[in-house]
């Protein structure tokens, strides 16, 4: 069986194992067995106890063949979004898709497969390398919870390569934004909608008026904002006295982020005052912090040199979403996000380009050889 066929077969095996956030136990057991067979020592932390999951983060190690070289972390995540049960991978036209009724799960099982494939080749070829620490996190999709609760006393990398996105081998994300989750509660006054509507204060209408005033979507090249959920009311014939609004804001600039959050709140406050409603104290929660790696950062340079060695075009990008890399960079571990050959994450149209997928594994092998050389 060719290297390409092995990767396709293993990827299809992994995506058939359901692993929605908080339910990664079965997949974790399979991955622990695979890593042990390759020759790594495997353990789990207790991150799941903090978030109510089945299993903790998987942590594995391959000893250094050259202790003078840096310790490198290879990372991806085990969980997927819904609909992620009963996945039937379809291999056709040099790509892999789902059957159309679920996601594919390439986010991030393509990254997991890339790491497994590269480790097998490193063990077989036995080049000089530093210690390799492999971390497969839980609950990334529900707010990077596995990375936030990772037992950092068990790892000690100088830098990390996070395989979680991007289609073309050689593509790297070197910056990502900070994000806030925001929940607002608009309070009005209930009344019979047919008998005495003028006695009520419509909380949904007040909320809608506030939302209509907001700058949303792409604010500028660094900042985005969204209202994603709105709900309230008790019945068709009752003027609603409550409305809940849930949104988010992201920016690569912390001052712009704070300004956007303040703007969204002010819009709702003005709307509440006009309607005679009340805006209750908003709940603003930081999701993750931004990071930006310079082009001369060692982790970026290693990935770039490895890509060039293989004849790939190294390309750095600024991301718009969050990943475990945000947490690692915040914890002082320089981490770059590397491509896996996939696109269309979180949709039924998710697909994996097989050629790029295989090249990403080649790229990781070369990254490991290049690190510290």
Query: What is the per-residue pLDDT for 93?
Result: 83
Tokens 């509660």 correspond to what residue? 185
Query: What is the per-residue pLDDT for 127?
Result: 97
Copy the structure tokens of residue 228.
């994603």
d(CA 271, CA 220): 25
Are 152 and 57 within 8 A, CB to CB? no
CA distances (Å), 122 to each of 262, 303, 314, 364, in order? 51, 16, 22, 10
Q: Which of 24, 45, 140, 324 is catalytic?
A: 140
Using CA atoms of 290, 295, 297, 299 in order, give the dihedral in degrees to the nearest 10: 80
Average pLDDT of 251-259?
97
User: Any catalytic annotation for residue 79?
Assistant: yes
pLDDT in tens, 104-139: 999 999 999 999 999 999 999 999 999 999 999 999
Query: Does position 252 have pLDDT exceeding 90, yes or no?
Result: yes
Domains of the chain: 3-176+290-370 (3.40.630.10), 185-288 (3.30.70.360)
Length of the chain: 373
CA distances (Å), 325 to each of 34, 130, 331, in order? 24, 21, 10
Query: What is the per-residue pLDDT for 166?
Result: 84
Tokens 């390409």 correspond to what residue? 4
CA distances (Å), 310 to each of 29, 161, 306, 313, in order? 34, 17, 7, 9
Residues forming a β-bridge with 72 = 132, 159
Q: Which of 79, 141, 164, 241 is catalytic?
A: 79
Q: 10 Å Cβ neighbour count for 71?
A: 20
Q: 10 Å Cβ neighbour count for 208?
A: 15
Query: Does position 372 have pLDDT exceeding 90, yes or no?
Result: no
Query: What is the per-residue pLDDT for 75?
Result: 98
Are 90 and 98 within 8 A, CB to CB? yes
Using CA atoms of 165, 369, 174, 47 in order, give the dihedral in degrees to the nearest 10: 60
d(CA 31, CA 170): 26
d(CA 214, CA 337): 32
Query: Does position 305 have pLDDT exceeding 90, yes or no?
Result: yes
> If you ran DSSP here, which 8-state letter would residue 182 be given?
E
Are 12 and 89 within 8 A, CB to CB? yes
pTM over 0.85: yes
């Amino acid at each position: 069986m060719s290297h390409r066929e092995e990767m396709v077969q293993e990827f299809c095996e992994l995506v058939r194992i359901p692993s929605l956030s908080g339910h990664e136990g079965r997949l974790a057991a399979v991955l622990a067995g695979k890593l042990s067979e390759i020759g790594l020592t495997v353990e789990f932390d207790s991150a799941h106890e903090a978030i109510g999951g089945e299993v903790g983060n998987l942590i594995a190690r391959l000893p250094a063949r050259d202790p003078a070289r840096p310790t490198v972390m290879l990372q991806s995540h085990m969980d997927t979004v819904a609909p992620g049960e009963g996945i039937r991978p379809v291999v056709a036209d040099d790509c892999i898709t789902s059957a159309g009724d679920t996601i594919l799960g390439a986010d991030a099982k393509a990254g997991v497969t890339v790491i497994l494939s590269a480790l097998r080749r490193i063990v077989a070829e036995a080049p000089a390398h530093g210690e390799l620490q492999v971390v497969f996190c839980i609950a990334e999709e529900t707010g990077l919870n596995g990375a936030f609760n990772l037992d950092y006393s068990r790892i000690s990398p100088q830098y990390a390569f996070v395989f979680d996105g991007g289609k073309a081998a050689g593509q790297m994300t070197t910056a990502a934004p900070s994000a806030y989750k925001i929940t607002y509660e608009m309070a009005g006054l209930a009344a019979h909608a047919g008998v005495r509507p003028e006695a009520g204060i419509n909380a949904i209408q007040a909320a809608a008026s506030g939302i209509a005033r907001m700058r949303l979507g792409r604010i500028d090249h660094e900042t985005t904002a969204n209202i994603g959920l709105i709900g309230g009311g008790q019945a068709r014939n009752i003027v609603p006295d409550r409305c809940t609004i849930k949104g988010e804001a992201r920016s690569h600039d912390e001052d712009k982020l704070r300004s956007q959050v303040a703007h969204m709140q002010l819009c709702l406050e003005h709307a509440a005052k006009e309607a005679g409603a009340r805006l209750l104290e908003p709940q603003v929660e930081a999701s993750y912090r931004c990071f930006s790696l310079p082009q001369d950062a060692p982790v970026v340079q290693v990935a770039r040199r490895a890509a060039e060695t293989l004849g790939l075009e190294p390309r750095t990008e600024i991301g718009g979403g969050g990943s475990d890399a945000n947490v690692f960079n915040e914890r002082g571990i320089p981490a770059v996000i590397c491509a896996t050959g996939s696109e269309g994450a979180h949709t039924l149209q998710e697909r994996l380009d097989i050629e790029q997928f295989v090249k990403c594994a080649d790229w990781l092998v070369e990254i490991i050889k290049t690190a510290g050389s």
